[in-house]
Structure 1
Amino acid sequence: MTQNNPKSTLAVALNYDGTGAPRVTAKGRGLLAEQIIELAEAHHIPLRHDAELVQVLASVPLEREIPRELYIAVAEVIAFAYMLSGKRP
């Protein structure tokens, strides 16, 4: 997830292994956010730009599961990533 604003780019990386809820595995602003995005692109990980969602996800501590309130929004992101990769959720 990324926020598209060159001055204060914000990025949050999620990992979902099919058990439990997705976890926040990386997050950062500015240069760190750009590095997260570059790494995702280098590994062909789909990116989704959603400024409001990334702001909320950035408040989740690293390695913690996302809160229940975000399940539907993040499920849409996971479905988006699956579709881009030609997989079915």
Structure 2
Amino acid sequence: MANRKRAAALKYELNYEAPIVTAAGIGAIADNIINKAMENDVPIVENKELADLLTKVDVGESIPTELYEVVAQIIAYVVDMDKLTKGR
């Protein structure tokens, strides 16, 4: 089971204390999360270690404090990429 694909979706808004896990799963569920993101032009960032940790968080819960820094870096990256693509 350790080699099965894992995926998690996060939601973050400025008034949130921390990002919230909105979906998480392994195998077919992970495939569905990724497919929905692609269908809706939601950015996808691949990070196996982070996905492993986020799939252990209950959906609807905030990410653990240990993950704040890495998730903040990903959010900053996505925001930068969004600015670049909208600037075209």
Q: Same fold (TM over 0.5)?
A: yes
Q: In 1, Cα distance between the equivalents of 2:47 and 2:34?
A: 14
Matches within 5 A, 1:1-89: 8-18=4-14, 19-86=16-83
Q: How far is 1:32 from its partner? A: 1.0
* RMSD of equivalent CA atoms: 1.3
Amino acid at match of 2:56: S
Instruction: Normalising by structure 2, report the TM-score.
Output: 0.85
- SS of 1:54's partner is helix
What count of residue pairs does the alignment treat as equivalent? 81
Instruction: Normalising by structure 1, report the TM-score.
Output: 0.84
Q: How far is 1:69 from its partner? A: 0.9
Higher Cα radius of gyration: 2
Percent identical among aligned pairs is: 36
Gaps of 5+ in 2: none
Q: In 2, Cα distance between the equivalents of 1:60 and 1:84?
A: 27
Q: In 2, Cα distance between the equivalents of 1:38 and 1:84?
A: 20
Q: How far is 1:73 from its partner? A: 0.5
Amino acid at match of 2:12: Y
* Conserved 8 A contact 1:14-1:26: yes
